[in-house]
Amino acid sequence: MSHHIVEAQGLRYSYPDGTPALEDISLRVEHGEAVALVGENGAGKSTLLRHFTGCLFPAAGTLRIGGLPVAKEHLTEIRRAVGMVFQNPDDQLFMPTVFEDAAFGLLNLGVSEAQLEGKVMGALETVGAAHLRSRPPYRLSQGEKRAVSIAGVLVMQPDILVMDEPTSNLDPRSRRRLIELLKTFKHTRIIATHDLDFALEVCGRTIVIHKGRVTADGPTREVFGDEKILRLSNLEQPAALRKCPACGG
Protein backbone atom coordinates (compact mmCIF):
# COMPACT_ATOMS: atom_id res chain seq x y z
CA MET A 1 0.00 0.00 0.00
CA SER A 2 2.88 2.33 -0.74
CA HIS A 3 0.62 4.76 -2.60
CA HIS A 4 -0.83 6.11 0.64
CA ILE A 5 2.49 7.48 1.83
CA VAL A 6 3.45 11.15 1.73
CA GLU A 7 7.13 11.90 2.00
CA ALA A 8 8.94 15.25 1.88
CA GLN A 9 12.72 15.69 2.01
CA GLY A 10 14.26 19.14 2.41
CA LEU A 11 11.30 20.79 0.70
CA ARG A 12 11.78 24.49 -0.07
CA TYR A 13 9.60 27.06 -1.75
CA SER A 14 9.67 30.83 -2.22
CA TYR A 15 6.93 33.02 -3.67
CA PRO A 16 7.60 34.69 -7.02
CA ASP A 17 8.41 37.96 -5.21
CA GLY A 18 11.18 36.17 -3.32
CA THR A 19 9.49 35.77 0.07
CA PRO A 20 10.50 32.38 1.42
CA ALA A 21 7.49 30.29 2.45
CA LEU A 22 8.92 26.84 3.11
CA GLU A 23 12.47 26.28 4.27
CA ASP A 24 13.58 22.73 4.60
CA ILE A 25 10.47 20.72 5.36
CA SER A 26 10.99 17.00 5.91
CA LEU A 27 8.21 14.67 6.95
CA ARG A 28 6.80 11.24 6.28
CA VAL A 29 3.14 10.36 6.75
CA GLU A 30 2.27 6.66 6.74
CA HIS A 31 -0.76 4.88 5.36
CA GLY A 32 -3.93 5.50 7.38
CA GLU A 33 -2.39 8.06 9.73
CA ALA A 34 -4.29 11.15 10.83
CA VAL A 35 -1.86 14.06 11.12
CA ALA A 36 -2.60 17.58 12.31
CA LEU A 37 -0.58 20.39 10.77
CA VAL A 38 -0.49 23.34 13.16
CA GLY A 39 1.27 26.68 13.23
CA GLU A 40 0.69 30.45 13.35
CA ASN A 41 -0.91 32.34 10.45
CA GLY A 42 1.59 32.57 7.63
CA ALA A 43 3.71 29.68 8.96
CA GLY A 44 3.49 27.93 5.60
CA LYS A 45 0.73 25.38 6.22
CA SER A 46 -1.38 26.34 3.22
CA THR A 47 1.66 26.55 0.96
CA LEU A 48 2.61 23.03 2.01
CA LEU A 49 -0.92 21.77 1.35
CA ARG A 50 -0.77 23.27 -2.11
CA HIS A 51 2.29 21.17 -2.84
CA PHE A 52 0.39 18.04 -1.85
CA THR A 53 -2.14 18.68 -4.63
CA GLY A 54 0.40 19.70 -7.24
CA CYS A 55 -0.83 23.30 -7.36
CA LEU A 56 2.73 24.32 -6.49
CA PHE A 57 5.98 22.51 -7.20
CA PRO A 58 8.96 22.40 -4.83
CA ALA A 59 11.78 24.78 -5.64
CA ALA A 60 14.25 22.46 -3.94
CA GLY A 61 14.08 19.12 -2.18
CA THR A 62 11.66 16.35 -3.05
CA LEU A 63 8.05 15.55 -2.37
CA ARG A 64 6.72 12.09 -3.15
CA ILE A 65 3.12 11.03 -2.95
CA GLY A 66 2.56 7.29 -3.10
CA GLY A 67 6.06 6.90 -4.45
CA LEU A 68 5.59 9.39 -7.29
CA PRO A 69 7.45 12.71 -7.25
CA VAL A 70 5.13 15.72 -7.42
CA ALA A 71 5.83 17.06 -10.90
CA LYS A 72 3.88 18.02 -14.02
CA GLU A 73 4.04 14.56 -15.59
CA HIS A 74 2.38 12.87 -12.59
CA LEU A 75 -0.30 15.47 -11.92
CA THR A 76 -3.22 13.28 -12.97
CA GLU A 77 -2.19 10.38 -10.72
CA ILE A 78 -1.40 12.67 -7.81
CA ARG A 79 -4.68 14.54 -7.99
CA ARG A 80 -6.42 11.19 -8.25
CA ALA A 81 -4.72 10.00 -5.06
CA VAL A 82 -5.07 13.20 -3.04
CA GLY A 83 -8.45 14.69 -2.21
CA MET A 84 -8.31 18.31 -1.08
CA VAL A 85 -11.00 19.99 1.03
CA PHE A 86 -10.64 23.77 0.83
CA GLN A 87 -10.94 26.15 3.74
CA ASN A 88 -13.78 28.12 2.20
CA PRO A 89 -16.44 25.74 0.86
CA ASP A 90 -17.67 28.51 -1.44
CA ASP A 91 -14.46 28.20 -3.42
CA GLN A 92 -14.94 24.51 -3.82
CA LEU A 93 -18.67 24.25 -4.45
CA PHE A 94 -18.88 25.94 -7.82
CA MET A 95 -21.44 23.76 -9.58
CA PRO A 96 -25.15 24.69 -9.68
CA THR A 97 -26.49 21.96 -7.39
CA VAL A 98 -25.14 19.73 -4.65
CA PHE A 99 -25.50 16.63 -6.81
CA GLU A 100 -23.70 18.16 -9.76
CA ASP A 101 -20.93 19.42 -7.55
CA ALA A 102 -20.36 16.01 -6.06
CA ALA A 103 -20.46 14.58 -9.59
CA PHE A 104 -17.96 17.08 -11.00
CA GLY A 105 -14.81 15.10 -10.21
CA LEU A 106 -16.35 11.79 -11.23
CA LEU A 107 -17.36 13.11 -14.63
CA ASN A 108 -13.81 14.35 -15.11
CA LEU A 109 -12.59 10.84 -14.31
CA GLY A 110 -14.85 9.56 -17.04
CA VAL A 111 -17.29 7.65 -14.86
CA SER A 112 -20.33 6.59 -16.90
CA GLU A 113 -23.68 8.22 -16.19
CA ALA A 114 -25.11 4.85 -15.18
CA GLN A 115 -22.69 4.56 -12.28
CA LEU A 116 -22.83 8.24 -11.42
CA GLU A 117 -26.03 8.29 -9.41
CA GLY A 118 -25.05 5.47 -7.07
CA LYS A 119 -21.56 6.75 -6.39
CA VAL A 120 -22.61 10.34 -5.80
CA MET A 121 -25.49 9.42 -3.53
CA GLY A 122 -23.24 7.01 -1.63
CA ALA A 123 -20.80 9.82 -0.87
CA LEU A 124 -23.59 12.23 0.04
CA GLU A 125 -25.05 9.65 2.40
CA THR A 126 -21.69 9.12 4.08
CA VAL A 127 -21.58 12.78 5.05
CA GLY A 128 -25.31 12.90 5.82
CA ALA A 129 -26.19 15.23 2.95
CA ALA A 130 -28.26 13.00 0.68
CA HIS A 131 -31.37 15.11 1.28
CA LEU A 132 -29.59 18.19 -0.09
CA ARG A 133 -28.99 16.74 -3.52
CA SER A 134 -30.93 19.24 -5.63
CA ARG A 135 -30.19 22.33 -3.54
CA PRO A 136 -27.89 25.07 -4.83
CA PRO A 137 -24.72 25.17 -2.68
CA TYR A 138 -24.94 28.85 -1.78
CA ARG A 139 -28.23 28.23 0.00
CA LEU A 140 -26.71 25.77 2.47
CA SER A 141 -25.55 26.36 6.04
CA GLN A 142 -21.81 26.35 6.73
CA GLY A 143 -22.00 22.86 8.21
CA GLU A 144 -23.90 21.56 5.20
CA LYS A 145 -21.47 23.23 2.82
CA ARG A 146 -18.57 21.58 4.60
CA ALA A 147 -20.25 18.18 4.45
CA VAL A 148 -20.99 18.54 0.75
CA SER A 149 -17.47 19.66 -0.12
CA ILE A 150 -16.12 16.60 1.69
CA ALA A 151 -18.54 14.42 -0.26
CA GLY A 152 -17.31 15.92 -3.53
CA VAL A 153 -13.81 14.77 -2.62
CA LEU A 154 -14.76 11.40 -1.09
CA VAL A 155 -16.64 10.40 -4.19
CA MET A 156 -13.38 10.29 -6.13
CA GLN A 157 -12.10 7.65 -3.68
CA PRO A 158 -8.83 9.35 -2.84
CA ASP A 159 -6.17 7.55 -0.79
CA ILE A 160 -5.14 10.67 1.02
CA LEU A 161 -7.44 13.38 2.36
CA VAL A 162 -5.98 16.86 2.76
CA MET A 163 -8.02 19.46 4.63
CA ASP A 164 -7.48 23.15 5.26
CA GLU A 165 -9.12 24.44 8.47
CA PRO A 166 -12.13 22.13 8.29
CA THR A 167 -13.67 23.39 11.54
CA SER A 168 -13.52 27.10 10.72
CA ASN A 169 -16.91 28.86 10.75
CA LEU A 170 -18.74 25.79 12.02
CA ASP A 171 -21.20 25.96 14.87
CA PRO A 172 -20.40 23.57 17.76
CA ARG A 173 -22.84 20.91 16.69
CA SER A 174 -21.67 20.83 13.06
CA ARG A 175 -18.11 20.72 14.36
CA ARG A 176 -18.96 17.74 16.53
CA ARG A 177 -20.52 15.94 13.57
CA LEU A 178 -17.45 16.61 11.47
CA ILE A 179 -15.20 15.20 14.20
CA GLU A 180 -17.25 12.00 14.40
CA LEU A 181 -17.23 11.70 10.61
CA LEU A 182 -13.48 12.15 10.27
CA LYS A 183 -12.86 9.56 12.99
CA THR A 184 -14.62 6.95 10.87
CA PHE A 185 -12.38 7.51 7.83
CA LYS A 186 -9.61 5.06 7.05
CA HIS A 187 -7.82 7.36 4.61
CA THR A 188 -4.50 8.96 5.30
CA ARG A 189 -5.57 12.35 6.65
CA ILE A 190 -3.50 15.53 6.76
CA ILE A 191 -5.40 18.37 8.38
CA ALA A 192 -4.18 21.95 8.74
CA THR A 193 -5.93 23.56 11.70
CA HIS A 194 -5.89 26.14 14.49
CA ASP A 195 -8.43 24.12 16.44
CA LEU A 196 -6.17 22.14 18.77
CA ASP A 197 -9.04 20.47 20.63
CA PHE A 198 -10.17 19.12 17.30
CA ALA A 199 -6.62 17.97 16.51
CA LEU A 200 -6.43 16.24 19.85
CA GLU A 201 -9.58 14.25 19.17
CA VAL A 202 -9.04 13.34 15.54
CA CYS A 203 -5.29 13.19 14.95
CA GLY A 204 -2.93 10.86 16.70
CA ARG A 205 0.06 12.79 15.43
CA THR A 206 0.81 16.50 15.13
CA ILE A 207 3.41 18.41 13.14
CA VAL A 208 4.12 22.02 14.16
CA ILE A 209 5.36 24.35 11.45
CA HIS A 210 6.96 27.67 12.34
CA LYS A 211 8.31 30.10 9.74
CA GLY A 212 8.49 27.42 7.09
CA ARG A 213 10.24 24.81 9.25
CA VAL A 214 9.09 21.81 11.22
CA THR A 215 9.60 22.61 14.92
CA ALA A 216 7.88 19.57 16.40
CA ASP A 217 6.60 16.24 15.11
CA GLY A 218 5.18 13.52 17.35
CA PRO A 219 2.14 12.12 19.12
CA THR A 220 -0.41 14.91 19.51
CA ARG A 221 -0.58 14.70 23.31
CA GLU A 222 3.17 15.03 23.65
CA VAL A 223 3.47 17.92 21.22
CA PHE A 224 0.66 19.82 22.90
CA GLY A 225 2.30 19.20 26.25
CA ASP A 226 5.27 21.35 25.23
CA GLU A 227 4.02 24.86 26.00
CA LYS A 228 7.21 26.51 24.77
CA ILE A 229 6.80 25.16 21.26
CA LEU A 230 3.13 26.11 21.24
CA ARG A 231 3.80 29.66 22.44
CA LEU A 232 6.44 30.15 19.77
CA SER A 233 3.81 29.37 17.15
CA ASN A 234 1.10 31.65 18.64
CA LEU A 235 -0.79 28.55 19.75
CA GLU A 236 -2.54 27.80 23.00
CA GLN A 237 -2.75 24.51 24.86
CA PRO A 238 -6.16 22.89 24.28
CA ALA A 239 -8.58 23.12 27.19
CA ALA A 240 -8.67 19.34 27.57
CA LEU A 241 -4.98 19.26 28.46
CA ARG A 242 -4.93 22.26 30.77
CA LYS A 243 -5.04 21.79 34.48
CA CYS A 244 -8.47 22.35 35.94
CA PRO A 245 -8.46 25.94 37.29
CA ALA A 246 -10.97 25.03 40.02
CA CYS A 247 -9.37 21.99 41.61
CA GLY A 248 -5.81 22.30 40.27
CA GLY A 249 -5.97 18.66 39.17
Contact positions vs another protein (CB under 8 A):
50, 53-55, 76, 79-80, 82-84, 86, 88, 90-92, 94-97, 100, 103-105, 107-109, 113, 116, 134-139, 152-153, 156
For another protein, which is the closer residue by CB, 93 or 216? 93
Contact assessment for residue 171 and residue 149, using Cβ atoms and an 8 Å cutoff: no
For another protein, which is the closer residue by CB, 21 or 230? 21
**Single-letter amino acid, residue 163:** M
Contact assessment for residue 25 and residue 209, using Cβ atoms and an 8 Å cutoff: yes
- In the complex, the smallest distance separating the C-beta of residue 10 from another protein, rounded to whole angstroms, is 25
- In the complex, the smallest distance separating the C-beta of residue 65 from another protein, rounded to whole angstroms, is 13
Q: Which H or E element spans position 159? A: none
Distance between CA atoms of 229 and 123, rounded to whole angstroms?
39
How is residue 242 annotated by DSSP? S
- In the complex, the smallest distance separating the C-beta of residue 56 from another protein, rounded to whole angstroms, is 10
- In the complex, the smallest distance separating the C-beta of residue 139 from another protein, rounded to whole angstroms, is 7
Residues 6 or more apart whose Cβ sits within 8 Å of residue 152: 92, 93, 101, 102, 104, 105, 123
